[in-house]
């Protein structure tokens, strides 16, 4: 499988593409419903680069709210993002004291486990 980013009408999508060898049978047809559900929108980081401390999503879910702004000072344990997973809201906390270097998610965005949410310096 290859991971590719495709941009359609200004919206970026991360997709997985399976490479077939010359002797492989073609993949089964995919319904339009499956195609419509497959791509995931990718949000661009909010201004600036990534900080040295990365706070990643611990599970797949939907960003309910972003509780910090870029440049804001945070203390260890402060809530950075609220992530809904399996109908439960999870507070994603700062692992240490620092300053928010970048916000890499937006309210309403669906994220996969391991996706960078916020970075700190």
Question: What is the three-class DSSP state of 34?
Answer: helix
Distance CA(105)–CA(62), nearest Å, equals 10
Using a cut of 0.85, tell me whether the model's pTM lies above it: no
Q: Provide the percentage of residues in the chain whose pLDDT is more than 70.
A: 75
Q: Residue-wise pLDDT tens for the chain (121 aa)?
A: 677 778 777 777 777 777 776 665 555 555 544 444 444 444 444 444 677 899 999 999 999 999 999 999 999 999 999 999 988 999 999 999 999 999 999 999 999 999 999 999 9
Residues 27 and 84 in one domain: no
* Domain count across the chain: 2
Statement to judge: residues 33 and 69 lie in one domain: no
Asked whether residue 59 falls in the same domain as residue 37, the answer is no
Q: Which of 121, 107, 114, 113 is nearest to 43 (CA)?
A: 107
Domain of residue 35: give its range.
2-41
pLDDT digits (tens, 9 = 90+) for 85-119: 988 999 999 999 999 999 999 999 999 999 999 99
Domain check: are 106 and 81 in the same one?
A: yes
Residues 33 and 60 in one domain: no
- The reply to whether 85 and 108 lie within a common domain is yes
Q: What backbone phi and psi angles, to 5 degrees, belong to 13?
A: -130, 135
């Amino acid at each position: 499988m290859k991971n590719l980013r495709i941009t359609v009408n200004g919206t970026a999508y991360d997709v997985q593409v399976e490479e077939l060898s010359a002797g492989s049978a073609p993949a089964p047809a995919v319904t339009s419903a499956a195609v419509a559900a497959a791509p995931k929108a990718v949000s661009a980081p909010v201004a600036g680069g990534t900080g040295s401390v990365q706070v990643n999503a611990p599970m797949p879910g939907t960003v309910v709210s972003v509780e910090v702004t870029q440049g804001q000072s945070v203390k260890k344990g402060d809530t950075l993002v609220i992530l809904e997973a399996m109908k439960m809201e999870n507070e994603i906390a700062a692992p240490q004291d620092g300053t928010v270097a970048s916000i890499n998610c937006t309210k309403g965005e669906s994220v996969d486990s391991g996706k960078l949410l916020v970075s700190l310096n």
